[in-house]
Structure 1
Amino acid sequence: MDDVTELTRDLVAIPSHEDETRAGEFIEAWLCEETDGEVTRDEAGNVFARKGSREGASLALVGHHDVVPPAGTQIEDGEYVLEERDGRLYGRGTADMKGAVAAAMCAFRDSEVSGSSDRSGGSRARDSAPAGELVFASFVGEESGGVGARFAIEAGFVPDYAVVCEGSTNYSKPGVTDVVVAHKGRRGSTITARGAASHASEPEAGENAIYRACEAVDLVRGLDAPTATVLENRLSGSVAVTEIDGGSAMNVIPDHCTVTVDERTVPGERTSLERTGEIGGVEWAVDQDLPPMACSDEGFARAALEAARETQEGAPELVSKPHATDAGWLAEAGTVCVVCGASEPGEAHTDDESVSLSVLERCYRLYRALASKQVG
């Protein structure tokens, strides 16, 4: 417990909302000093550690070490403010997600893996253990659309299985850390309507771009968002107009209007927003597309749930999550994913962000238990 808590404190104290370099260097140095893994840091700043046999299936414990900008109360003289009280650690990045990164780092260090090398260059193979590789990975740029994850995947990082250590605590009920088998994605898009300007005293001389945009908005309002079911968890997508901007003056027929659309996607079918482009003078373009995630292997999901049940007194469940994570990018690339971590609903990105220290210890035990089932 002390190791996970102290490592969390050390990680959270390093500012990483503008530049993750210092945090990445710290993680890399700790892994080199404290573990028997093969440690690397790529050009993007992602940090990896590996041990075991690459001939077998690989299991990755995945996090990220960037954070969103801190509130004024969370930073002082350029350094993050940390406070521990009532069994919780408060500060930017405690819940999202340096606490879980610390738990995963300690779990990686302490997990015995068949065929891994000890620090003297020998072997710690156990004949009775299944061959496989245990990987730790911490990405940059998760808060910026999965920059680090996408870079790593393009470079060939596609483990067979992954536990993305984002929040799953208190989802089914208070006091448990659940296993997320599906989450929504987000597609942000812009509808652009163009017309022809004229004096407002002669509206028929122009083409009103706002009217065209309103026609597109009416179409969006009538679209049904798709649903999906993953291991008995039902996810419902959504689509909503969130911004509109058009016109140049009160007495000018507008020749330009833009509409922003927020769409929460589910695995499988998408809302048919491209239909807005069939309206005369209207174009539709995707600005951001964070993929949803669905666990594609029920056996792995059940193994993760068994590990969760073995390491806590409550009754965790297989659940879904409304927020996109790097699990979406990994699943899209072919990795079988679940999400499991210490953050609770409503903790991430808040001015009083915190994490339960006892739940971090629970996650440490859970990650070790799953590693022993998969590659131990």
Structure 2
Amino acid sequence: MATLTSLTRDLVSIPSHDDEAAAGKSIRQWLETNTDARVTRDDHGNVIARKGQGDTSLALVGHHDVVPPDGSQVDTDGEYVVEERDGRLYGRGTADMKGCVAAAMLAFRDADPASELVFASFVGEEQGGVGCQAAIEDGFAPDYAVVGEGSTGYSGDGVTDVAVAHKGRRGSTIVAEGAAAHASEPEAGANAIYRATDAVDMVRDLDFPETTVLGHDLRGSVAVTEIDGGSAWNVIPEHCEATVDERTVPGERAPLDRVEAIDGVTWRVDQDLPPMACSDAEFADTVLNAATAAQDGAPEHVVKPHATDAGWLAQAGTDCVIVGAAEPGEAHTADESVSLDVLERCREVYERIAEAWPSH
């Protein structure tokens, strides 16, 4: 029988940055072999399994795609390198987030659920949550979800907390158009860089969006991160663009469209990853109780700065929390790793909440 370490190692060893098919096939086959659940792998590559019955559904959610590996994380045959040392497993996807996918698979297998229990591992999370969005469009709609992204080390070193909210990200572009002219006669043209910088000044003066989720403050941010314009040192620029990174919070957005009041300026949204906020305090407390029972530390409700698939689920009506083994700064690195003890802790949390919720 597979252990959590061996199952994680197996999943991490499967390359899934360009194509998630092999990893999805492996997850589906394991669930079909080791559970009596109803298992599907949809046309998008998402793996979804269901067991138990009831009026309420709880999903254990993860993703099996990863970002491209560092050269040190791939061997000469193109396979992912997985190493175990000092109680940690090293390799691309260990922390983000095949370790917690494996933990959720074992919890799903072993739990005697209080209602319908769903396991879901999505594709395309690293591409903006395209797999999760596709599943929602196809009717995926659990009432509650525990998403296995990182929540360890927020309230204290080594403590696995329960994230009840996270920021979203809206990436957008300010586009300024002008009219070219020779730089010796600037009044003959319309300087697109000046128009863009006027817009940048407006962005700089905007208040950051903020809100409160279950008593916790969540504050967003707005920042201009790139600017590009002009064609030559002696030409008045006719085109200039500025990139804006906005970290959004539930229910609040910065009024970036105000820049369009400037002559020649338009504003374009390029990406909009939604924030997440849990609105069910009882569910959040029940998960916190499960996390407390599974560790010696004292976990807390916390907020995350990063967008996850929980945002898409929350936007569709699912109450979400995040519980996972990854620590801040661990994902996407050349020495990505995960604590095996914390993975075991997460597996226990998932199983406990599956058997405790709904509580009545």
Q: TM-score range by the shorter chain?
A: over 0.9
2:20 aligned with 1:37, yes or no? no
Match of residue 98 from structure 1: 98
CA distance, structure 2, for counterparts of residue 65 and residue 17 of structure 1? 9
Q: 1:297 to 1:375 in 2, by over 3 A?
A: closer
Counterpart of 2:64, as a letter, is H
Cα deviation 1:256-282 (Å, max 9, x = unaligned):
000000000111111110100111100
2:139 aligned with 1:156, yes or no? yes
Indicate if the aligned counterparts of 1:239 and 1:264 stay in contact, CA closer than 8 A: yes
Aligned mate of 2:157, from 165, 174, 179 = 174
RMSD: 1.1
2:128 aligned with 1:145, yes or no? yes
Match of residue 55 from structure 2: 56
Aligned residues: 358
2:304 aligned with 1:325, yes or no? no
Counterpart of 1:349, as a letter, is H
TM-aligned CA deviation for residue 175 of structure 1: 2.2
Match of residue 72 from structure 2: 73
Where does the alignment leave 5 or more consecutive residues of structure 1 unmatched?
A: 114-129
Where does the alignment leave 5 or more consecutive residues of structure 2 unmatched?
A: none
Secondary structure at 2:3 match in 1: helix
CA distance, structure 2, for counterparts of residue 240 and residue 206 of structure 1? 29
Counterpart of 1:3, as a letter, is T
Secondary structure at 1:181 match in 2: strand
Match of residue 202 from structure 1: 185
Aligned mate of 1:243, from 219, 226, 229 = 226
Cα deviation 1:3-44 (Å, max 9, x = unaligned):
111000000000000000000000000000011100001110
Q: Which runs of 4+ in 1 moved over 6 A?
A: none
Indicate if the aligned counterparts of 2:214 and 2:279 stay in contact, CA closer than 8 A: no
Secondary structure at 1:239 match in 2: strand
Counterpart of 1:52, as a letter, is G
Secondary structure at 2:348 match in 1: helix
TM-aligned CA deviation for residue 2 of structure 1: 6.2
Secondary structure at 2:11 match in 1: helix
CA distance, structure 1, for counterparts of residue 252 and residue 106 of structure 2? 39
Counterpart of 2:228, as a letter, is D
CA distance, structure 1, for counterparts of residue 154 and residue 317 of structure 2? 26
Indicate if the aligned counterparts of 1:134 and 1:375 stay in contact, CA closer than 8 A: no
Secondary structure at 1:79 match in 2: coil
**TM-score of the superposed pair, with normalisation by structure 1:** 0.94
Cα deviation 1:357-376 (Å, max 9, x = unaligned):
00000001000000000169
**Identical aligned residues as a percent:** 71
CA distance, structure 2, for counterparts of residue 375 and residue 194 of structure 1? 56
Match of residue 274 from structure 2: 291
CA distance, structure 1, for counterparts of residue 245 and residue 40 of structure 2? 37
Aligned pairs (5 A) from 1:1-376: 3-53=3-53, 55-76=54-75, 77-113=77-113, 130=114, 132-374=115-357
CA distance, structure 2, for counterparts of residue 375 and residue 283 of structure 1? 48
CA distance, structure 1, for counterparts of residue 252 and residue 159 of structure 2? 32
Secondary structure at 1:174 match in 2: coil
Match of residue 124 from structure 1: none
Secondary structure at 1:59 match in 2: strand
Counterpart of 1:72, as a letter, is G
CA distance, structure 2, for counterparts of residue 172 and residue 364 of structure 1? 20
Indicate if the aligned counterparts of 1:142 and 1:149 stay in contact, CA closer than 8 A: yes
TM-aligned CA deviation for residue 190 of structure 1: 0.2
Secondary structure at 2:351 match in 1: helix
CA distance, structure 2, for counterparts of residue 176 and residue 196 of structure 1? 57
**TM-score of the superposed pair, with normalisation by structure 2:** 0.98
